[in-house]
Structure 1
C-alpha cells in the first residue's frame, strides 16, 4: 500500500505545477471582486454601464475555478484517508484558522463600535448585547467571504458521504442540475438568490475537479490539440455572453445580477479554466507569490482588511464612489485591491515565519 501511494504522489509534484498558478490567479480575482467599489452603482450612460460590467465580469471565473482546482487537489486525499481522518485534518488546517479570523473580526468590530460610542456616538450594543453578537456572527458567516469556507466544507462533506459514487457520471450530472436550478432561480426567484442560499450550488465544480484529476491525461491531450485561437475566441464569446446576461438581469430588476451561478458565467468560468490549463505553470507566480502556502492566509485576512482597514483609509466623505466616473471607480477599485492583496500577502508571509503559522493554514 505504501508503495502505491508513493507512486501516486510522484506525478502530482512532477506534472501538476499548473495548480499553484491557477490557485494564485483565482485568488487575485476573488480579492479584486471583494475589493471593488462598483457594486450597486448605476450609471446613466449605457457605455459606462458596459465598462462597469466588463470590469466586474472579467474576474467572475475565479470562484468556480477555485472550486475546480480544490476538487482536483482533494482527489488524492480521498484515496489516502478515511472520511473521519480527512475531516480531522480539515478541522486542524481549515476550521481552526477560519474561526480565529472570525474572532479577530468580531473583536475589531467591537473596538470600532466602542470608539464611536466614546466619541459620543450610538450605544455600542443598541440595548441588547445578545442581539448584537448574533447579528455580528450572522453578518460574518453569511454576508462576507467567510461564508465560502463553510460552503466549501459542506461540499467536501457531501462528496465524502457519497464517496463510492464520486466517479459516476450520473452523480456529477445530478449536481450539475442542482447548479442549474440556482441559475434559473435568478429569473424566477423561487427562493432567495443571495450567495449564502447557494448551499449546494458549488458541489458540481468540486466534483468536476475530482473527475478531471482522475482523467487528467486524456483531458489535457484534448486541450493541447485545440488551437490557441479557438480557446481565445470561445472565451471572448462566453465573456460577452456573460456581460449581456448581467445587463439583462440588471434591466429586469434583479438584485443579484452578478451571481456566480449564472449559466453564462458557468460557461465563461469553465472556458477560462481550460485556458489556464493550456497556459500551464507561470514560474514567476509560483516563485514570487508562493500560492501553495500563501493562498489560504490571503483569503482569511483580506476580508478583515476590507471591512476594517479600508474604511479608515478612505473616509466616505472624501471617497464618495457615487460621484466618481466609471474610470475613476475602476482606478479606485484597483487601488483598494493593491492595498488589500499586498497587505494580506505580507501578513501571511510574516505569520508563516512564526510559531503561529497555523492561523493562516501553515
Structure 2
C-alpha cells in the first residue's frame, strides 16, 4: 500500500528483498478471491464441494499476510515521522487515491444506470436515484474491497495512538484476543460476522508485523533452521483444517463460512507467512511485476474492473455459473482472475507514466 522500506543502508535493502515477493503473492490471492465465481454456490456431491473449498481456501492466507507485511513496513515510518507527519503522508499516498477511485466507480455506475434507465429499465433507479446512489456508495465503501483500505488506516491509527506500547508483548496479546472474539463469533453469532463488522479484528496482524520487524534477525535465523519438510507438513495440516472448518460452518448454517478470521485460517495464514519468509525473494516477481510500484494500483483498480467491466465481457447466457460444473467454475474463476489482474497491472503501469500517477500511489 505504497509503504516503502527505507533505502539508506545496504543491509536493510538486502535483508528485506522478500517484502515485494510476499506483497505480490498476497495480491494474487486477494484478486483471485474477489474474481472467483465459486462464492455461495452449492454443489450436490461432497467431491464437488471439496474441490470448491480447496480452490477458495488456498488463497485465504492473503489478507492476513498483507496486514503482516504492511505492519512490517510501517515500523520504520513510525520511528521516522511524528503521528501528524505520518498521517499527512498517508493522506497523500493512500487516502487521496482511495477516494478518487471510489468516486470514479460511483460516477461510472451513475452513467451505466442512466443508460439502462433511458432504455426503459431499472425502475428502482428511476423512482429513487438519490437513495439508490447512497446505497451504492455505502456498498462500495463497506462491502467491496475498498473497505479494507479504510480498515487498514483505522488499524494504523490505533497503533499510532498507543505508540508507546507498540513493542509490549501484552499489547499485542490484547489485540490477539480481540481477533479471536471474531473467530468465536462465527459459531455463536453474537454480532454480524461480515468483514465490515470486523473493525478491530486485523489490528493484531498489523501489530505482529511491526513486532516481527523489530526482532527480524532472530526470527529469520530461527525460520532458516526449520526443515522445509516441517514447514510443508504444518501448512498442509492447517490447510486441511481450514477446509474442514469451512465445510463445518456451511453445514451448520453459517453465511460467512470463508471468513478470514476463522481460527484455522489464522493458523494457515501464519504458517504460510512463515513459508514465504523462508522462501525469500523471487527475482522474477520483483523484477517483472514491480510489486512496490504496482501493488496499490492493482488493489484499487481490480474491484472496479470486477464490478463494471467483467460483467460486460461475460454477459452472454452461456456464462451462467449456475449451470457450470465445479471444474468449469474453477476454470472460469481463473480466467476472470487472469483478465482482472492483467488489466489492473497494465493500467497501473500506464498511469504511473502520466500525471495521474498519484491515483495509484505513484
Q: TM-score, normalised by structure 1?
A: 0.97
**CA displacement, residues 284-316 of structure 1 (integer Å, 9 cap, x when unaligned):** 000000000000000000000000001000015
**1:30–1:158 Cα change, 3 Å:** same
Q: How many residues align?
A: 358
**CA displacement, residues 2-56 of structure 1 (integer Å, 9 cap, x when unaligned):** xxx9897543312100000000000000000000000000000000000100000
1:223 equivalent to 2:223? Answer: yes
1:18 equivalent to 2:14? Answer: no
Correspondence 1:263-282 to 2 at 5 A: 263-282=263-282
Q: Is the contact made by 2:71 and 2:210 (CA closer than 8 Å) also made in structure 1?
A: yes
Unaligned runs of 5+ in 2: none
Q: Which moved more, 1:36-45 or 1:106-115?
A: 106-115
Aligned to 2:35: 35
Correspondence 1:112-151 to 2 at 5 A: 112-123=112-123, 125-151=125-151
**CA displacement, residues 150-180 of structure 1 (integer Å, 9 cap, x when unaligned):** 0000000000000000000000000000000
Report the secondary structure of 2:257's partner residue.
coil
1:321 equivalent to 2:321? Answer: yes
What is the CA–CA distance in structure 1 between the aligned matches of 2:173 and 2:8, rounded to whole Å?
A: 27
Aligned to 1:73: 73
Q: Is the contact made by 1:96 and 1:359 (CA closer than 8 Å) also made in structure 2?
A: yes
Correspondence 1:253-272 to 2 at 5 A: 253-272=253-272
What is the CA–CA distance in structure 1 between the aligned matches of 2:115 and 2:337, rounded to whole Å?
A: 27
What is the CA–CA distance in structure 2 between the aligned matches of 1:163 and 1:10, rounded to whole Å?
A: 27
What is the CA–CA distance in structure 2 between the aligned matches of 1:283 and 1:205, rounded to whole Å?
A: 26
Q: TM-score, normalised by structure 2?
A: 0.97
Q: Is the contact made by 1:114 and 1:124 (CA closer than 8 Å) also made in structure 2?
A: no
Q: Is the contact made by 1:294 and 1:348 (CA closer than 8 Å) also made in structure 2?
A: yes
**1:188–1:219 Cα change, 3 Å:** same
What is the CA–CA distance in structure 2 between the aligned matches of 1:49 and 1:122, rounded to whole Å?
A: 35
Aligned to 2:306: 306
Q: Which moved more, 1:128-137 or 1:179-188?
A: 128-137
What is the CA–CA distance in structure 2 between the aligned matches of 1:359 and 1:121, rounded to whole Å?
A: 34
Q: Is the contact made by 2:186 and 2:254 (CA closer than 8 Å) also made in structure 1?
A: yes
**1:7–1:28 Cα change, 3 Å:** closer
Unaligned runs of 5+ in 1: none
Aligned to 1:153: 153
Deviation of 1:333 (Å): 0.1
What is the CA–CA distance in structure 2 between the aligned matches of 1:245 and 1:91, rounded to whole Å?
A: 39
**CA displacement, residues 240-276 of structure 1 (integer Å, 9 cap, x when unaligned):** 0000000000100000000000000000000000000
**CA displacement, residues 106-145 of structure 1 (integer Å, 9 cap, x when unaligned):** 0111111111111111247342333122101100011100
Aligned to 1:93: 93
What is the CA–CA distance in structure 2 between the aligned matches of 1:265 and 1:147, rounded to whole Å?
A: 20
Report the secondary structure of 1:250's partner residue.
helix
What is the CA–CA distance in structure 2 between the aligned matches of 1:84 and 1:9, rounded to whole Å?
A: 26
Q: Is the contact made by 1:62 and 1:269 (CA closer than 8 Å) also made in structure 2?
A: yes
Deviation of 1:183 (Å): 0.1
**1:297–1:7 Cα change, 3 Å:** closer
Aligned to 1:206: 206
Deviation of 1:186 (Å): 0.2
What is the CA–CA distance in structure 2 between the aligned matches of 1:124 and 1:359, rounded to whole Å?
A: 32
Report the secondary structure of 2:71's partner residue.
helix
Q: Is the contact made by 2:7 and 2:13 (CA closer than 8 Å) also made in structure 1?
A: no
What is the CA–CA distance in structure 1 between the aligned matches of 2:10 and 2:130, rounded to whole Å?
A: 52
1:48 equivalent to 2:48? Answer: yes
Q: Is the contact made by 1:113 and 1:124 (CA closer than 8 Å) also made in structure 2?
A: no
